[in-house]
């Protein structure tokens, strides 16, 4: 008769739960912005609290490498792009993808139309801005698949400009194209007074070289601990509740992000626009990784020609165990 509990036992259980909320630290890939709205919404709306979790969200930034933070024990779970996670795994840091809130990639190359660029073939003999620190992997794979070298400008090669986290190289015409995210840097170009008609964009998703972005990763050995796995199930369930709420209430989600931006750097207009774009990327995901998306990511990364991002098929790089328990 275990389902019959006395009022006293129920009360005791409730107070016990209130005292014993489990701590979870989440390391973000970048600064506080709508890219991470689902987690801030889950925190703000009490979804984590409902799962008996005390969640701390750590913003990232240009000087923060999420993989290093989690390797050093500074976080339980991190938001990372799969190329960086798989590269780290091959080098000996056993990261495992436990959930994939983002279904689509927001990565694209944004080019000046007047440079005469219409198709990817026209990228040859150009200077292209590319982010590094692990974000260059999809670009290098794409160029390799196009048969375009990345060691310098010539009829079969491009000059790769190491791009900072701004859009100046395009605006100052130091580069014909730069890396942008659909939800962020593209709009910085527009906000600088450029009209969409002056630009040509190539989405990685459309080019067939999209790699998975913004997954949730933990260290493999931690998953062997049942208590940790249980914590992650609750964390993923509450986070996905946050993401779906953000998708359905984008303006409110953007406001919640702004409330959590300790830097005060973000503006309402930019965050609301970003949230609208982010909702397109999380749409279609219930949090469970689609193995076909994983396989495409791996084949893109291994298709890097003489310099692939990963040299062999990863083993055990993802699991459905957490999402199966969290979502069913």
Helix/strand/coil (H/E/C) assignment for every residue in 264-290: CCCCHHHHHHHHHHHHHHHCCCCECCC
Instruction: Classify each residue of 241-275 as buried b or exposed e, where b means 16 or more C-beta atoms within 10 Å of its C-beta.
Output: bbbbbbbebbebbbbbbbebbeeeebeeebbbbbb
Q: Do domains 22-103+212-327 and 107-207 have the same CATH topology?
A: yes
- The pLDDT assigned to 67 comes to 93
Is the pLDDT at 61 greater than 80? The verdict is yes
Region 131-149 average pLDDT: 85
Is the pLDDT at 224 greater than 50? The verdict is yes
Q: Are 251 and 272 in contact (CB under 8 A)?
A: yes
The CATH architecture one would assign to domain 22-103+212-327 is 3-Layer(aba) Sandwich (3.40)
Half-sphere exposure of 185 (CA within 13 A, CB side): 24
In order of 15, 67, 135, 305, 306, the CA distances from 311 in angstroms are 52, 19, 17, 10, 10
In the numeric block, which tokens belong to residue 157? 């090669």
- The pLDDT assigned to 62 comes to 85
pTM metric for this prediction: 0.89
Q: How many secondary structure helices (H) and strands (E) does the chain include? A: 15, 10
What confidence tens digit (pLDDT) does each residue in 34-55 have?
999 999 999 999 999 999 999 9
Is the pLDDT at 5 greater than 50? The verdict is no
Is the pLDDT at 8 greater than 50? The verdict is no
Region 300-321 average pLDDT: 86
Interatomic CA distance for residues 140 and 143, integer angstroms = 5
What confidence tens digit (pLDDT) does each residue in 124-133 have?
999 999 998 7
Residue 299 phi/psi, 5-degree rounding, is -65, -35
Region 197-204 average pLDDT: 97
In order of 19, 237, 241, 271, the CA distances from 47 in angstroms are 17, 9, 7, 22
More confident residue, 138 or 313: 313
What confidence tens digit (pLDDT) does each residue in 237-270 have?
999 999 999 999 999 999 999 999 998 988 999 9
Domain locations in the chain? 22-103+212-327, 107-207
* Band of residue 305 on the pLDDT scale cut at 50, 70, 90: low
Interatomic CA distance for residues 313 and 298, integer angstroms = 7
User: Closest Cα partner for 35 from 4, 2, 81, 83?
Assistant: 81
Q: Are 61 and 264 in contact (CB under 8 A)?
A: no
More confident residue, 217 or 310: 217
The CATH architecture one would assign to domain 107-207 is 3-Layer(aba) Sandwich (3.40)
End-to-end CA distance of the chain: 25
* Band of residue 306 on the pLDDT scale cut at 50, 70, 90: low
Is the pLDDT at 17 greater than 80? The verdict is no
């Amino acid at each position: 008769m275990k389902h019959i509990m006395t009022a006293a036992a129920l009360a005791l259980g409730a107070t016990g739960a209130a005292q014993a909320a489990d701590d979870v630290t989440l390391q973000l890939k970048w600064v506080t912005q709508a890219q991470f709205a689902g987690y801030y919404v889950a925190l703000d709306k009490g979804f984590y609290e409902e799962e008996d979790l005390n969640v701390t969200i750590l913003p990232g930034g240009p000087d923060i490498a999420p993989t290093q933070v989690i390797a050093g024990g500074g976080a339980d779970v991190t938001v990372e792009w799969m190329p960086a996670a798989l590269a780290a795994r091959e080098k000996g840091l056993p990261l495992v993808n436990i959930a994939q809130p983002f279904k689509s990639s927001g990565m694209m190359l944004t080019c000046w139309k007047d440079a005469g660029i219409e198709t990817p073939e026209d990228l040859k003999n150009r200077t292209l801005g590319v982010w590094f620190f692990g974000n260059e992997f999809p670009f290098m794979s794409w160029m390799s698949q196009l048969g375009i070298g990345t060691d310098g400008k010539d009829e079969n090669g491009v000059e790769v400009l190491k791009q900072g986290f701004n859009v100046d190289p395009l605006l100052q015409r130091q580069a014909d194209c730069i890396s942008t995210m659909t939800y962020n840097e593209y709009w910085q170009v527009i906000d600088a007074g450029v009209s969409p008609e002056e630009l040509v964009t190539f989405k990685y998703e459309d080019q067939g070289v999209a790699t998975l972005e913004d997954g949730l990763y933990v260290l493999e050995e931690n998953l062997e601990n049942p208590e940790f796995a249980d914590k992650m199930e609750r964390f993923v369930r509450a986070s996905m509740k946050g993401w779906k709420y953000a998708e359905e209430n984008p303006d409110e989600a953007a406001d919640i992000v702004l409330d959590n931006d300790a830097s005060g750097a973000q503006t309402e207009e930019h965050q609301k626009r970003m949230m609208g774009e982010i909702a397109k990327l999380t749409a279609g995901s219930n949090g469970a990784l689609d193995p076909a998306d994983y396989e495409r990511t791996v084949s893109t990364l291994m298709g890097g020609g003489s310099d692939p991002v990963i040299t062999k098929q990863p083993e055990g790089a993802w699991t459905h165990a957490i999402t199966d328990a969290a979502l069913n």
